[in-house]
Amino acid sequence: MFKRLSLKVWVVALTASLLLVACGSGSNAPAPAPTKTDSAPATLEFKDTLVIGSQYGDPQGSWDPIDTFLLAWGEVACNIYDGLVDRGVDLKLKPGLATEWKFIDDKTIEFKLRQGVKFHNGEPFNADAVVFTFTRLLGPDGKTSPQLSNYTSIDKVVKVDDYTVRFMMKEMDPVIITKLAGYGAMIISPKYYQEKGDAFFNTNPVGTGPYKVTAYTKDSQVVLEANPDYWGDKAKTKKVIVRFIPEDATRVAEFQTGAIDIMQTVPVAQVKTLQADKNVKVLPVGGPTAWALRFDISKSPVDKLEVRQAIGYAIDSKTIIDTILSGNGKLISSFQGDGSFGNNPDLKPLEFNPAKAKELIDKAGAKGAKLDVFFSSKAVIQKEIAQAIASYLKDVGLEVVLNPVDPQQLSGTLITEGKAGHMYLFGWGGWTLDYDNTAYLLYSKGQKWDPYFNDAKVNELLTKERTSTDPKVREQAMKDLTVRLRETMPDVPLYQAVAVWATGAKVQGFVAPPDDRMRLAPVTVTK
Amino acid sequence: MVPYIIKRVLHGLMVLLAISLVVFFLLRLTGDPVMALLGQGNPTQEAVAAMQHALGLDQPLWRQLIKFLTDLATGNFGISFRNKQPVMPQLVERMPATMTLAFAGMAVSLLVAVPIGIQSAVRRGKAIDVLGRVFALIGISFPNFWLGIMLMLIFAVKLRWLPASGYQGFKYLILPAVTLGLILSSIITRLIRSAMLDVLRQQYVQTARAKGVAERTVIYRHAFRNALIPTVTFVGLQLGSLLGGTVILEQVFSWPGVGRLALDAISNRDFPMVQGAVLMLSTVMVAINLAVDLTYGFLDPRIKVGGKA
Amino acid sequence: MPERRRISLRRLVTNGPALVGALLVLTAVACAFLAPFITAHDPVNAQLRLRLDPPTWDAASKAHYLLGADAVGRDVLTRIIYGARISLTVGLTATAISLAIGVVLGLLSGYFGGWLDSLIMRIADVQLSFPFILLALVVMAIFGGGLAKLVLVLGITGWVSYARLVRSQVLTVRELDYVQAARSLGASDLRIIVKHVLVNVISSIIVLSTLQVATNILLEAGLTFLGMGVDPSIPSWGGMLADGRNYITNAWWVATFPGFAIMFTVLGVNLLGDWLRDELDPQLRV
């Protein structure tokens, strides 16, 4: 009886296949970390290799400081290069390759350089290297650099003697010292670069940092080796492998199998599970990145202030943080983190008030309006937040069309060309930790990121803040600015991101970096 | 035969030319990549102009096209917008990873599909047929990324038999190749089964049987050989989706192949890199399809290769 | 000369696998048409407080949704039911487009040969040699995302399999005696194609179409996985699976049940396809 038999076989086979799926997916508890069952060793022995799982794809094939603006670059490259100024994992500025600096006048800064420092190739570090680095950035080579716009306030850098340089500024730049800890200001070796050429340098970079690059496979991994001649605290682990694993599920799998020691960006859904595992250390860290829902105020109906305010009142950011982010986020009142200079603690985050939102929408006659929201199609969290926002807005009588798009396209063309719908989810790195960087680029008249917003008072406050050296004047101006921006609402600030890292219990000395720049020198892994 | 091959190679080159034109124009429809390349800050007009000039995007379209085509003729895919290095060596470096995965996947699939497909057809309706069909259906019922993640959870996270991802040796190839192979094998199994069923009822097979030729010989020499025609066609066709499958699996298994390079390049608007990657993969497919066409002649003498249709 | 049999429902009911297939497909179709009558919940609106709420049998379940809630707190079952609309539409529409283009071009190409054949086959080569996923991503980068565009891309790029299959079958069939005979008797080209060639390739086309419907449902999932820009609040099974993969280890229900929906539907379509093939091909009936 073929028919009856075959049915039975079908059922059996189907059940088997379901089991296959179930045993793949049904594990609530994390698999135990691969513990070798040997008892605790009498003396601590260290592994000579540390493996890190990066959430980024790759720094796009170049380790040259002026070719990049990607966190994928910075997280690794801060171990390869040093700047004149160093920003520690506590985000405080301290001497780097410069031991001290002083303002000779508003437009001249003098740096004393550290002596006896060598590049990875043995070349000595001196004033010539600093001059070369900045001449390259500000000269023809830097013309196509995404870093150039950060350093346009510098006119030129001149050598005073072998270990003294002066920065001659075109204009006052209140955050220049911070910027000298930034990507584009990392010092490179002049001879090596000139002899080997740009292309070679891209994949075989040489700096003064605690680690040097020994092997690099694009989209796969970069291998670092401790620099035995490092001028500061030398690296404790001989070899570091940074693997690029952008797929969340894969990175978590690698971490659970113990193939990686440090995992960047634990997916929020996994945080609780990993916290319960005593073989794992979960390290949340609030960073400078903030998220906002930004409006294109040239489009109706969000050209009306009431509608923008209504949207602000309609969104329950607190619940978004508690649920979608599993608490890994902080409420903000303006588009900056709480560690940012210029943050205004007196300004309260926008309240969640759907009734008021409805009222405002009725008043503006925008009931039933259809709004396009753009966001990154690649970030899980942004996708979920966008859906939540759509529901919140539906509750107050607005209709939302969700448009997930490629993140590069969103920031590269859509926003700057005014094609990102009525509003879009937008994250801003705020790496200088100074509201100036964010506010100027986002709110000042005719800027790339918001070609349409223009408010006289905002412009005035920005100019005031930019042209003063007095921190008190600047801070007050920026606090006033946050109030003015609340009144004009070019965006709805949503939250300050909290990044979550995880390490195996045997990893020592790793501090989760708020700016993604991993300081690897002090890290060890016990066997 | 030889003139036919030359003709087909020329056709292949024409196909590649057509593809390069299509990709060239499609990419230029995606907008100006300059802003995306200049980062977060506010670039000056001068910087934008300098960048456009450096990338050759300030030239009129026809000039860009001529440069692109003349470069192509000399085997030069141009310079990457993103890392300012020639595209060709970067692609060549990544080809082995992609091809290894594709061929390993194909090998796995044939290893699984050929015996199951034949047996299912020969013992139609028996247990093995039903099991084979269930297997074939399971394989095409999941998206490849899902199957990949499942296998990873089972064999890497739970059982710890294999590494979850990476590109360091044979062990690392197993999971992605099996994922790719399983999906493909279920399709090929179905195809071989139905092709075999078709062939088994053809007159010449019946005749062979009637003449008392051993059943094994009937199946393998007469039937399977002919069942291979649609199968080979299909496998040739599937190479496209196979290479497409590698794009997704490279992402899942952190496999540094051309696919990942291409995905990044598309989102970065790195035109030369996308053009290069597309042409590279296309060349492989054109070559394989050419091989498939030529194979017909050997498999089925009734199709006159090169004969005027 | 193959005689055609009429499809008989009686034979469907008595054929075990086919009946299972028909029931599975019917269930999916019923879900698609009757979704609002089957479930009272909203498939689109987020309820953040119910994020990843487990299925009703789990003690921790708050909302007691039968199959739990997804990442923004929607009922997974409701989304699966509504998802039948989206996924079947994606699968069927895209396949229909491919089928129409492919069969017509394949018949023309195989039957008439000559320059027409060359032209069509060269276009096919171009289409076929263009890595599909990359093409889809580039096209989406130009025209933006969205389900309708995705269906079009899937449909327009899927024709080659049909064209080539039909063509290669036509090449074989054309040489057969009775076709030659019909030709020499002065039967018109169109008549010959419809009467003889199409009848002969129909079983292969059905097999391929069932595969294609399934493939299209899966491709939609794959492209969503790569971040292809389909509105995530639209309940498509593929999208649910792609987005749910992030929760496989701690909220397995989010992706597993849509996975089953895809699996059972694909299974049903294929079982039905196999049966149809046998029905249309009476020589195979033992």
Tell me whether B110 touches chain A (CB under 8 Å).
no
pLDDT of the residue at C5: 54
Tell me whether C245 touches chain A (CB under 8 Å).
yes
Q: How far apart are CA B230 and CA C168, in angstroms?
A: 8
Task: Provide DSSP, B84-142.
Answer: -SBHHHHHHHHHHHHHHHHHHHHHHHHHHHHHHHHHHHHTTTSHHHHHHHHHHHHHTTS
Closest residue in A to B91 (Cα) is A218
Query: Hey, what are A358's tokens?
Result: 């409805």
Backbone angles phi, psi at B181, to 5 degrees: -65, -40
Beta bridge partners of residue A263, listed in sequence order = A53, A502
* % of chain C with per-residue pLDDT over 70: 90
pLDDT of the residue at A3: 38
Q: How far apart are CA B258 and CA A216, in angstroms?
A: 16
CB contact burial A498-507 (16+ within 10 A = b; e otherwise): bbbbbbbebb
Amino acid found at A63: W
Tell me whether A215 touches chain B (CB under 8 Å).
no
Better pLDDT: A500 or B212: A500
pLDDT in tens, C91-125: 999 999 999 999 889 888 887 788 999 889 888 87
Instruction: Please give the DSSP secondary-structure letter assigned to residue A25.
Output: H
Contact (CB, 8 A) for A487 and A252: no
pLDDT of the residue at C190: 61
Nearest alpha carbon to residue A382 among B228, C72, B29:
C72
Contact (CB, 8 A) for C95 and C83: no
pLDDT of the residue at B306: 43
The angle subtended at Cα B258 by Cα B255 and Cα B261, nearest 5°, is 90
Tell me whether C141 touches chain A (CB under 8 Å).
yes
* CA B109 to each of CA A305, B112, B182, C208, C251: distance values in angstroms, whole numbers, following the listed order: 61, 5, 6, 18, 32
Lowest mean pLDDT among A281-295, C23-37, C170-184: C170-184
Query: Hey, what are C110's tokens?
Result: 């195989």
Instruction: Please give the DSSP secondary-structure letter assigned to residue A141.
Output: G
Q: How far apart are CA A239 and CA A210, in angstroms?
A: 11
Q: Is residue C273 scored above 90 in pLDDT?
A: no
Task: Provide DSSP, C110-176.
Answer: HHH-HHHHHHHHHHHHHHHHS-HHHHHHHHHHHH---HHHHHHHHHHHTHHHHHHHHHHHHHHHHTS
pLDDT in tens, B5-35: 888 888 888 889 999 999 999 888 877 788 7
Beta bridge partners of residue A381, listed in sequence order = none
* Continuous segment of H or E residues that includes residue C35: helix C16-38
**Candidates B23, B143, B149; nearest CB to C221:** B143
Q: How far apart are CA B282 and CA B270, in angstroms?
A: 18
Q: How far apart are CA A362 and CA A364, in angstroms?
A: 5
Q: How far apart are CA C153 and CA B215, in angstroms?
A: 46
Nearest alpha carbon to residue C16 among A44, B8, A9, A377:
A9
Q: How far apart are CA A132 and CA A114, in angstroms?
A: 17
Is residue B299 very low, low, confident or very high in pLDDT (cuts 50, 70, 90)?
low
Q: At what angle do helices A2-25 and B127-139 cross, to 10 degrees?
A: 30
Tell me whether A416 touches chain B (CB under 8 Å).
yes
Instruction: Please give the DSSP secondary-structure letter assigned to residue A341.
Output: B
Give C274→chain B minimum CA distance, Å. 9
Tell me whether C2 touches chain A (CB under 8 Å).
no
Closest residue in A to C14 (Cα) is A3
Q: How far apart are CA C28 and CA C32, in angstroms?
A: 6
Nearest alpha carbon to residue A293 among A451, A489, A497:
A489
pLDDT in tens, C227-262: 777 888 999 898 898 888 888 888 889 988 998 898
CB–CB of B35 and A244 under 8 A? no
Chain A residues within 8 A of C58 when measuring between CB atoms: none
Chain mean pLDDT for chain B: 82
* CA A101 to each of CA A48, A403, A427: distance values in angstroms, whole numbers, following the listed order: 37, 49, 33
Compute the CA torsion angle C198, C204, C206, C207 (nearest 10 deg): 180
The position carrying tokens 């049903």 is: C268
CB–CB of A60 and B82 under 8 A? yes
Is residue C72 very low, low, confident or very high in pLDDT (cuts 50, 70, 90)?
very high
**Candidates B149, B191, B281; nearest CB to C245:** B149
CB–CB of B23 and C138 under 8 A? yes
pLDDT in tens, A213-253: 999 988 889 999 999 999 999 999 999 999 999 888 889 98
Lowest mean pLDDT among A11-15, B253-257, C218-222, C270-274: A11-15
Q: How far apart are CA A462 and CA A484, in angstroms?
A: 11
Contacts of B210 (CB under 8 A, 6+ apart): none
Give B12→chain C minimum CA distance, Å. 8
Three-state secondary structure call for residue B208: helix
Closest residue in B to A406 (Cα) is B267
Tell me whether C259 touches chain B (CB under 8 Å).
yes
Chain A residues within 8 A of C71 when measuring between CB atoms: 269, 324, 380, 384
pLDDT of the residue at A317: 96
Closest residue in B to C127 (Cα) is B19
* CA A447 to each of CA A173, A421, C217: distance values in angstroms, whole numbers, following the listed order: 18, 18, 43
Angular region, A60: left φ>0, alpha ψ -120 to 50, beta rest: left
Chain B residues within 8 A of A416 when measuring between CB atoms: 35
Three-state secondary structure call for residue A225: strand
Chain A residues within 8 A of B58 when measuring between CB atoms: none
Tell me whether A455 touches chain C (CB under 8 Å).
no
| A202 alpha-carbon distance from chain centroid | 22
Chain C residues within 8 A of A7 when measuring between CB atoms: 16-17, 20
Three-state secondary structure call for residue A41: coil
Contact (CB, 8 A) for B262 and B278: yes
Three-state secondary structure call for residue C194: helix
The position carrying tokens 């119910």 is: C50
Chain A residues within 8 A of C247 when measuring between CB atoms: 269
pLDDT of the residue at B240: 66
Tell me whether C225 touches chain B (CB under 8 Å).
yes
Q: At what angle do helices C199-225 and C253-280 cross, to 10 degrees?
A: 170
CB–CB of A403 and C260 under 8 A? no
pLDDT of the residue at C158: 87
**Candidates A9, A146, A219; nearest CB to B130:** A9
**Candidates A220, A257, A449; nearest CB to B160:** A257
The angle subtended at Cα B133 by Cα B128 and Cα B135, nearest 5°, is 95
pLDDT in tens, C36-59: 898 888 898 888 999 989 998 988
CB–CB of C249 and A270 under 8 A? yes
Query: Hey, what are A321's tokens?
Result: 């943080």
Q: Is residue C188 scored above 70 in pLDDT?
A: no
**Candidates A3, A391, A401; nearest CB to C45:** A391
Q: Is the dihedral of CA B218, B219, B225, B226 positive or negative?
A: positive
Q: How far apart are CA C212 and CA C27, in angstroms?
A: 20
Q: How far apart are CA A341 and CA A102, in angstroms?
A: 21
Q: Which residues, given as ranges, of chain A have pLDDT below 50?
A: 1-41
Q: How far apart are CA A178 and CA B219, in angstroms?
A: 77
Q: At what angle do helices B225-252 and C159-174 cross, to 10 degrees?
A: 170
Query: Hey, what are A22's tokens?
Result: 């179930």
Task: Provide DSSP, B143-178.
Answer: -HHHHHHHHIIIIIIIS--S-SS--SSHHHHHHHHH
Instruction: Please give the DSSP secondary-structure letter assigned to residue A142.
Output: G
The position carrying tokens 């030729």 is: B213
CB–CB of A10 and B130 under 8 A? yes
The ipTM, to two decimals, is 0.84
Query: Hey, what are C221's tokens?
Result: 């999932």
CB–CB of A25 and C227 under 8 A? no
Tell me whether C58 touches chain A (CB under 8 Å).
no
Q: How far apart are CA C66 and CA B130, in angstroms?
A: 32
pLDDT of the residue at B118: 86
Tell me whether C67 touches chain A (CB under 8 Å).
no
pLDDT of the residue at A501: 95
Q: Is residue B253 scored above 80 in pLDDT?
A: yes
List A residues 361-390 in contact with B (Cβ-Cβ < 8 A).
none
pLDDT in tens, B131-153: 887 777 777 777 888 889 888 88
Nearest alpha carbon to residue A362 among A314, A313, A397, A312:
A397
| B49 alpha-carbon distance from chain centroid | 39
Is residue B298 very low, low, confident or very high in pLDDT (cuts 50, 70, 90)?
low
pLDDT of the residue at C279: 74
